[in-house]
Structure 1
Amino acid sequence: MKVTAYKPYFGATPNSINDADFNRLITYFELLGAVKNPTVSLIIPVYRAKETLVAHIFSLANLKTIIPYEVIFVENNADSETLSILEQLGAKVVSEKEQGITFARQKGLEEAKGQIICSMDPDSIYDPYYIDKMALPFFMDKELVLCYSVSKSYENDFQLSSKMRFRNRVKNIYFRWKLSQGFTTRIKYIRAVSMVIKKEAILPIGYETDLRVVSGCDDGMLAIKLHSIGKFKYIPVDVYTALPPKREPAKPFPFCNERFMPTKKVIEETCKELIIEEVSQ
């Protein structure tokens, strides 16, 4: 299916889709539950994902592979609507209460049974042959530790205007050029949405859980460490993901961005109250 075919599922819930679609997703997770020895683990952290989650799950249900795999959703203090979707469909969900994407990814890694870890996002639509294209290279090259790709973007309801199609072509060319550069340039353009990693390589390293709220930084830090262990491989595969939020002018997003720093609001309010009391006396 093309990404535009997922438009009917934007903002969908198990209650809003038709019976055939609902039964298909229920059956999909029942079949996944019968897989006892997965070779590949798909790890999907979820926080606020209700608008895109059903469509994302349909893209997983459309995966075509003979490789046994599992799907693990890591709820990271997710909202009730997101949790309800996963519960109604019978998805495997584990919880990570420590807030932050790297904490969630680390939890998924610890729960994974597969030899190959696919890092995914719940706002993304994946190529039906994603697992075969991204996982099989590890069995052909024993030195490989990371396969990665370049994602494209879709608009709010999984649509692609002419402007967006042009943007995606330019982005692909630009990223491919950047990824062909030296190590320090390449790691900046590797994104978690389409990183597939050998478990035995990442397990001793783990995710940088002290990076509480990051976008890109966690991917880059992981890539730096993996680069010293083995080989990387770029795989051309279709992955469509939501546009990132806008950045504040002249500031990186969101790492080192003041609005993502821990608030001192409680201390400030306390000081303010003390000052008021002193004046009133």
Structure 2
Amino acid sequence: MNRFNMKVTDYQPYYKATPQSLGNEDLNRLITYFELLDDVQKPVVSLVTPVYRAKATLVAHILSLSNLKTIIPYEVIFVENNADEETLSILEQLGAKVVSEPRQGITYARQKGLEEAKGQIICTMDPDSIYDPYYIDKMALPFFVDKDLVLCYSVSQSYEDDFQLSPKMRLRNKLKLAYFRWKLSQKFTTKIKHIRAVSMAMRRETLLPIGYDTDLRVVSGCDDGMLAIHLHNLGTFKYVNVEVFTALPPEREPGKPFPFCNERFRVPKKALEATMEALEISKVPH
């Protein structure tokens, strides 16, 4: 198998993989990959991947990173955001660079990664995504051509649970690419709703003073659009044609428009039971 030409369907054997389940060749490859990354002193690009519950796709994601083909020095940072033991164990056994963010929420995790990153260019990554071998070159090099460029973005395709692409999924991806590229060609107020964090690259010096809107942790899904809004008046944007495959998002509850469908992450200030109890206590008998 030519690793530099791997298709997303070639990652099927790595779905739900662990270091223990890997063959010696793959295991040594990934351990060596992170050892080599440790020797990079001045990364130009920082790949930042938040992890929470990522054990099913994490090894495949890392393998796709190890297949990146570039001459640009880069670093890979995983931000564990109260991740489960299995996810942490995979990262530890392979020797990945991991930083912790105990405050729950994707925006907190991305902000932590931004603060830890050393590269001039920040690429926001997702642990359920598979990236084009030339992803870094395609996403980062435009910044060195256009000094006014602050954001590169692309459109991700979807895969099924085990990195497979049924005929139905292939058709869905073709329609999605056509639809998103059309939307992204429209005026800013339309474009902004279709930029996704899974495939964004930004200048660190421009991004740092802005940071991530951590108050949006409950309405996850806003962080990418909000960043694009903030970056809009600071420079130019560029669409990049590059392959990224990511897992299908969870189904949304009927009648709850995205992204305001994450009430399960909301921590109530006062439990309903406590409120009702207080109301009962405060009643004055007639």
Query: What is the TM-score of this pair, normalised by structure 1?
Result: 0.94
Question: What's 1:124 paired with?
Answer: 129
The yes-or-no answer on 1:113 pairing with 2:113 is no
The yes-or-no answer on 1:196 pairing with 2:201 is yes
Q: Is the 8 A contact 1:207 1:218 kept in 2?
A: yes
Question: What's 1:11 paired with?
Answer: 16
Which whole-Å CA distance do the structure 2 matches of 1:257 and 1:27 have between them? 39
Q: Is the 8 A contact 1:101 1:213 kept in 2?
A: no
Measured against aligned partners, the alpha-carbon deviations of 1:120-154 in whole angstroms (never above 9, x if no partner) come to: 00000000000000000000000000000000000
Which whole-Å CA distance do the structure 1 matches of 2:226 and 2:73 have between them? 29
Of stretches 211-220 and 197-206 in structure 1, the one that deviates more from structure 2 is 211-220
Question: What's 2:52 paired with?
Answer: 47
**1:231-250 pair list within 5 angstroms:** 231-250=236-255
Question: What's 1:37 paired with?
Answer: 42
Aligned-residue RMSD, C-alpha: 1.7
**1:1-281 pair list within 5 angstroms:** 1-255=6-260, 257-263=262-268, 266-268=271-273, 271-272=276-277
One-letter amino acid matched to 1:128: P
Measured against aligned partners, the alpha-carbon deviations of 1:33-54 in whole angstroms (never above 9, x if no partner) come to: 0000000000000000000000
Which whole-Å CA distance do the structure 2 matches of 1:268 and 1:156 have between them? 39
Using the TM superposition, give the Cα deviation of residue 268 of structure 1 relative to its aligned residue in structure 2, in angstroms. 1.3
Q: Is the 8 A contact 2:105 2:220 kept in 1?
A: no
Q: Is the 8 A contact 2:220 2:262 kept in 1?
A: no
Which whole-Å CA distance do the structure 1 matches of 2:182 and 2:249 have between them? 21
Which whole-Å CA distance do the structure 2 matches of 1:244 and 1:256 have between them? 12
Which whole-Å CA distance do the structure 2 matches of 1:46 and 1:257 have between them? 18
Please give the secondary structure, in 1, of the residue aligned with 2:61: helix
Structure 1 unaligned runs (5+)? none
One-letter amino acid matched to 2:76: V
Using the TM superposition, give the Cα deviation of residue 274 of structure 1 relative to its aligned residue in structure 2, in angstroms. 9.3
Which whole-Å CA distance do the structure 2 matches of 1:123 and 1:256 have between them? 21
Please give the secondary structure, in 2, of the residue aligned with 1:136: helix
Q: Is the 8 A contact 1:192 1:219 kept in 2?
A: yes
One-letter amino acid matched to 1:82: T
One-letter amino acid matched to 2:246: T
Which whole-Å CA distance do the structure 2 matches of 1:59 and 1:144 have between them? 27
Q: Is the 8 A contact 1:217 1:255 kept in 2?
A: no
Which whole-Å CA distance do the structure 2 matches of 1:258 and 1:111 have between them? 30
Which whole-Å CA distance do the structure 2 matches of 1:31 and 1:63 have between them? 13
Measured against aligned partners, the alpha-carbon deviations of 1:170-193 in whole angstroms (never above 9, x if no partner) come to: 000000010011101101100000
Query: What is the TM-score of this pair, normalised by structure 2?
Result: 0.93
Measured against aligned partners, the alpha-carbon deviations of 1:206-230 in whole angstroms (never above 9, x if no partner) come to: 0001111334311111100101100
Using the TM superposition, give the Cα deviation of residue 261 of structure 1 relative to its aligned residue in structure 2, in angstroms. 3.0
Aligned length: 277
One-letter amino acid matched to 2:73: P
Measured against aligned partners, the alpha-carbon deviations of 1:42-100 in whole angstroms (never above 9, x if no partner) come to: 00000000000000000000000000000000000000000000000000000000110
Q: Is the 8 A contact 1:247 1:254 kept in 2?
A: no
Please give the secondary structure, in 1, of the residue aligned with 2:216: coil
Q: Is the 8 A contact 1:215 1:253 kept in 2?
A: no
